[in-house]
């Protein structure tokens, strides 16, 4: 009984730590309706940026490489855009840091759904399996650092909790994921002349036991089910599609709908799907020979929430409920952050779905 009470108390403390006080002054004007509340501490945001800086060594001279990458992306030639190691490093060091900070805020915003108090208490027991999260299209490093930053807050009050993250992407991001993860679980470089107190305080964001990462190079639009089930398992709690779903729809709507059906069949009851993408994203669908543009959100809801799942032969007849939806939101970088190159604010839409239990579940 004492152990249960202890776990409950720790979970309660972790709940309070989920949304720490903003680093901004209390006199700051209230955020506009489409803005995030900005609850991620400035210190944590800077730590995330420092990890990117130390791991990827961004320099101003990367501008020429970035222009080449942007040209390939504009032409939708993703194989060329991510076909060179220097392109991967430059892309990850330029665009992933600001997104990572935005993703930390997103994870903090949805944590009450994924990790309610009883789930936190369960994870706090030393003999429990880690929380499992799968990030589709998550190879460029933003999700690695975002998960690490978010989890570092959780583990302050629940030090025994562990997170196992898997990242699936068509490009060869394996080295980037490994490098950033290593930087998360390794103490930062420190001067040989640092004081004893500074050395004592110089600790990694997380321990290797608390945060593990695995990368899988795979085109998710041509993902054999037997391979997918080695990544998305009956213990997976959350699957993310961050700035990925609309690109998948642009590549192939039928294949993307099939992927969502695969996720429906693979995710366990009370598993979650979290989609973050550019607001106002549209994809063109051809119906009876006539083309029409539909909002990405409409296509997503049509697949997950309508009865059409049963028409495509899913034996489990799995269903979802939408638990979070926001068509437009801003994450704005707070003043005071330091990074070698310019970063940008992030505007996004966010939709989260919970997998419902059905008779077909095992």
The percent of residues in the chain predicted with pLDDT above 90, rounded, is 62
Residue 196 covered by a domain: no
pLDDT, one tens digit per residue, over 110-152 is 999 999 988 887 877 766 789 999 999 999 999 999 999 999 9
Residue 114 covered by a domain: yes
| CATH code for the domain of 94 | 3.40.50.150
Residue 175 covered by a domain: yes
Least confident of 18-22, 92-96, 172-176, 339-343: 18-22
Domain count, the chain: 1
Residue 234 covered by a domain: yes
Across the chain, what does the average pLDDT equal?
85
pLDDT, one tens digit per residue, over 186-219 is 988 887 888 888 787 788 999 999 999 999 999 9
Only one residue has tokens 């108390």, namely 9
141: left (phi over 0), alpha (psi -120 to 50) or beta: left
Residue 362 covered by a domain: no
CA separation, residue 165 to residues 8, 131, 160 (Å): 25, 8, 16
- Cα distance between residue 354 and residue 275, in whole Å: 12
Domain that holds residue 110: 38-188+204-355
* Residue 21 in this model has a pLDDT that exceeds 50: no
| Residues 185 and 232 sit within 8 Å (Cβ to Cβ) | no
Torsions phi, psi for 292 (to 5 deg): -145, 145
pLDDT at 85: 92
Least confident of 67-81, 181-195, 299-313, 342-356: 299-313
Residues 154-183 as b/e (b if ≥16 CB within 10 A, e otherwise) read: bbebbeebbbbbbbbbbbebbebbebbbeb
Residue 293 covered by a domain: yes
Closest C-alpha among 321, 249, 315 to residue 278: 249
| CB atoms closer than 10 angstroms to residue 197 | 8
| Residues 173 and 221 sit within 8 Å (Cβ to Cβ) | no
Residue 52 covered by a domain: yes
The percent of residues in the chain predicted with pLDDT above 70, rounded, is 83
Residue 347 covered by a domain: yes
Specify the pTM.
Answer: 0.86
Closest C-alpha among 163, 156, 211, 206 to residue 15: 156
* Residue 61 in this model has a pLDDT that exceeds 50: yes
Instruction: Name the band, by pLDDT with cuts 50, 70 and 90, for residue 159.
Output: confident
| Strand 290-295 relative to strand 236-242, pairing | unpaired
- Cα distance between residue 332 and residue 45, in whole Å: 12
């Amino acid at each position: 009984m004492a152990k249960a009470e202890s776990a409950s108390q720790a979970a309660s403390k972790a709940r309070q730590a989920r949304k720490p006080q903003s680093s901004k002054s209390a006199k700051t004007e209230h955020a506009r309706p489409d803005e995030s509340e900005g609850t991620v501490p400035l210190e944590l945001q800077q730590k995330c940026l420092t990890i990117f800086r130390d791991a990827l060594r961004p320099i101003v001279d990367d501008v020429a490489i970035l222009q080449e990458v942007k040209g390939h992306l504009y032409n939708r030639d993703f194989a060329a855009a991510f076909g060179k190691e220097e392109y991967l490093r430059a892309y990850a060091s330029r665009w992933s840091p600001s997104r990572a900070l935005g993703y930390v805020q997103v994870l903090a915003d949805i944590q009450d759904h994924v990790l309610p108090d009883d789930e936190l208490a369960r994870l706090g027991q030393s003999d429990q399996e880690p929380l499992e999260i799968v990030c589709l299209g998550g190879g460029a490093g933003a999700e690695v650092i975002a998960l690490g930053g978010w989890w570092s807050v959780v583990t302050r009050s629940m030090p025994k909790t562990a997170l196992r993250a898997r990242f699936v992407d068509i490009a060869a991001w394996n080295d980037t994921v490994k490098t950033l993860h290593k930087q998360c679980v390794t103490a930062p470089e420190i001067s040989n002349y640092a004081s004893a107190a500074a050395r004592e305080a110089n600790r990694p964001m997380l321990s290797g036991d608390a945060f593990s990462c695995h990368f899988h190079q795979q085109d998710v639009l041509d993902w054999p089910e037997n391979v997918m089930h080695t990544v998305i398992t009956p213990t997976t709690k959350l699957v993310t599609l961050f700035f990925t779903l609309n690109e998948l729809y642009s590549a192939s709507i039928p294949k993307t709908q099939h992927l969502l059906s695969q996720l429906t069949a693979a995710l366990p009851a009370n598993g979650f799907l979290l989609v973050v993408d550019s607001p106002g994203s549209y994809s063109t669908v051809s119906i009876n020979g006539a083309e029409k543009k539909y909002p990405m959100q409409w296509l997503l809801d049509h697949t997950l929430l309508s009865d059409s799942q049963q028409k495509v032969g899913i034996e489990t007849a799995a269903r979802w409920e939408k638990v979070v939806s926001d068509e437009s939101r801003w994450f704005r970088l707070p003043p005071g952050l330091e990074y070698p190159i310019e970063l940008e604010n992030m505007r996004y839409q966010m939709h989260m779905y919970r997998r419902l239990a059905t008779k077909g579940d095992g």
